[in-house]
Structure 1
Amino acid sequence: MSDIKLYDTRAFTGKFMPSEEMKRHFQGTRDTFFIMPVEDMYRFVKRAVPASRSTITSCLYLTGGEARMKIGSTSYTVRVDEMLFVPAGQVFSFREDDINQGYICGFHADFLIGKFFRNNVLHEFDFLRVWGNPTIQPNPEAAGFIRALLDRMLVDYSQHGLQHSDLLQSYLIALLTEVNQVYKPLSETAPVSIVTLANRFRELLFSHVRTHQRVTDYASLLNISPNHLNKTVRRATGKSPTQWIDEAILLEAKVLLCQTAMPVAEVSSAVGLDDPSYFTRLFKKYEGQTPTAYRQMIEKS
């Protein structure tokens, strides 16, 4: 049996290693799935979670309180009867002072491969794409359907684990489909052609940030001019491609700084920057502190 790790990193500093009980919820075979009350998760997560990356997609639905989480470089807040999705591979972090109740559900993409579903089914849900809107605000009727599906999955999983995986798969697809009915994209005003091109850029960046770090790299991959890419991305997202690239590099660096003991120079090289001095200047430009100071701050928190 091969384990699927909660965090996609080379090593852990001891401070951020999840408890053994927590890891059992996030590890398993290729058909990994879990669901639990948010209140139970807080028994395992005792402090703020710094920049992290998971191999599973997670979904938070609140029945009380509010939750704040940073996904990529954007901060989100969800409240009662709202949902927040963190797609697999996305860098996320959250603070320790939120008080809330609800459900947290996680699943590996392979969990939905079976006799009922094909292996690219997740691509049909924009809120699970790197460029999608991860926050869902269902109307009261849809919220009732979503809560009923979450509750049904929780009951079955609590009693039987993954013994009824076909049933859990069906409930999960029904849940994602219900969410899809009320999903609203981040940009509803820009022309479709502009949004589509900006989304393609963000998907390429997500996959190639460690090896492609110039606007010209992505313009070439998209078969357009750098000037056209600049105008399109800025109009669709409000940020330039250069800022998107810089932020993506920093997110990669934060994960390594938080969860490995790699020296700063090695972190710089790992994220594709061969000049540690430039890496430090870039990090300080966006974070207001050096990579070393950032690591020390996380270790003290």
Structure 2
Amino acid sequence: MVDRTLQDAGGIRTFPFPVDLSVGGVGMQVGPMGAGRRWHADAPLYRVHRIDFHVVLLFTDGPVRHMIDFAEYEATAGDVLWIRPGQVHRFSKTSEYRGTVLAMQPGFLPRATVEATGLYRYDLAPLLHPDEAQSAGLRAALAYLQREYEDTATLPPSLHTSVLRHSLTAFLLRLAHLAASSAEAARRQGDTTFTLFRDAVERDFATNHSVSAYADALGYSRRTLVRAVRAATGETPKGFIDKRVVLEAKRLLAHTDLPIGRVGAAVGFPDPANFSKFFHQHTDMTPAAFRAELR
């Protein structure tokens, strides 16, 4: 069998859900955070990596610094970090993680639940700050889920798995409501123009960097698109596109051994010189310097 941790497309180190570490082999895990946790035998969590499953961290202490997609987030007691499949992240070597961690395989829940809970809303911020009532509800739902997860004796395996799915759904519905109720999330969710533009950029950023081309494809004037994107993000459509291109370039530079010219081509710059100029303009570093700093 090919080890997926070594053979992902483009050489990016992506770790699959560790089914062998789950109680009863189910598609989820829940338990206390602690030192020495690993997704894979040779994957210390403080190294930058990707995972192909969901991770939710509910903190009881802090502060904790955690990197997700090259942005640093600081969480403290009561906060929640929601890391989605494919996001690049890294645990801090200097922070002490205390609280409860939930890991979930994407296929563990039915499609209707996935849609209802917004599991793939990558536009939402990973760091959530529940108020006292929201935090109490999340803690209670997660504690109940953990008890059911650890109790493998009361119910037969098939029924135990069904109860876990229902309990997990209840927790995720609370979490999804928290994520969607923030002012920024509500604004983005309600802006159809921005949502369509965001989805188009996510699909085509590697080949299309033109604001006018996106506006034409979506049937909006350039002015309408500028107004919608600025209202949702505070930046221009061109800035939004460039930020997505830079993020992907950083991912490839950090996690693959692709030549810099091929990294540029993968994000829409056939000419290596143009790619280096673009990357330096947005990061104040050359692609080679950025790669060297992370190695």
Aligned-pair distance for 1:49? 3.7
Contact 1:54 1:88 in 2 (8 A): yes
Map 1:62-101 onto structure 2 (within 5 A). 62-72=59-69, 74-93=71-90, 95-101=92-98
2:280 to 263, 278, 284: 284
Picking from 143, 167, 172, the partner of 1:171 is 167
Shift of 1:127: 7.4
**Which of 192, 196, 218 is residue 192 of structure 2 equivalent to?**
196
Residue in 2 aligned with 1:11? 11
Q: Secondary structure at the match of 2:30?
A: strand
Match of residue 105 from structure 2: 108
Q: What's the TM-score once normalised by structure 1's chain length?
A: 0.78
Q: Which runs of 5+ in 2 are unaligned?
A: none
> Is the Cα–Cα contact under 8 Å of residues 276 and 287 in structure 2 kept in the other structure?
yes
| Rounded Cα–Cα distance in structure 1 between residues aligned with 2:192 and 2:80 | 24
Of the three residues 209, 216, 227, the one matched with 1:213 is 209
Query: Aligned partners of 1:21, 1:123: CA distance in 2, in Å?
Result: 21
Contact between 2:19 and 2:27, CA under 8 Å: does it hold in 1? no
Give the 3 Å change call, closer, same or farther, for CA 123–2 of structure 1 in structure 2: farther
Q: Deviations over 1:23-59 (max 9, x none)?
A: 9559xx9x74333422146567646443x44322221
Cα separation, 2, equivalents of 1:154 and 1:59:
13
Change (3 A) 1:188 1:249: closer
The 5-angstrom pairing of residues 27-176 of structure 1 reads 32-40=27-35, 42=37, 46=44, 48-50=46-48, 52-72=49-69, 74-93=71-90, 95-113=92-110, 119-125=111-117, 128-158=120-150, 160=152, 164-176=160-172
Q: 1:39 to 1:191 in 2, by over 3 A?
A: closer
Q: Unpaired runs of 5+ in structure 1?
A: 114-118
**Identity across matched positions, percent:** 25
* Deviation of the 1:214 alpha carbon: 1.7
**Judging changes above 3 Å, is the alpha-carbon distance between structure 1 residues 208 and 103 closer, same or farther for their aligned structure 2 residues?**
farther
Closer/same/farther in 2, CA of residues 295 and 192 from structure 1, 3 Å limit? closer
Q: How big is the alpha-carbon RMSD for the aligned residues of Structure 1 and Structure 2? A: 3.6
In the superposition, relative to structure 1, how do residues 36 and 99 fare at CA in structure 2: closer, same or farther (>3 Å)? same
* d(CA) in 1 for partners of 2:277, 2:229: 25
Q: How many angstroms does 1:80 deviate by?
A: 0.8
Query: Secondary structure, in 3 states, of the residue corresponding to 1:64?
Result: coil
Of structures 1 and 2, the one scoring higher in RCO (CA 8 A, sep 6+) is: 1
- Cα offsets for 1:190-235 (capped at 9, x unmatched): 6976x33223322222232223322123213321122221121012
Output the CA distance in 2 between the equivalents of 1:273 and 1:94: 32
User: Does the alignment pair 1:272 with 2:264?
Assistant: no
Once the 2 structures are TM-superposed, how far is the Cα of residue 6 of structure 1 from its aligned partner?
10
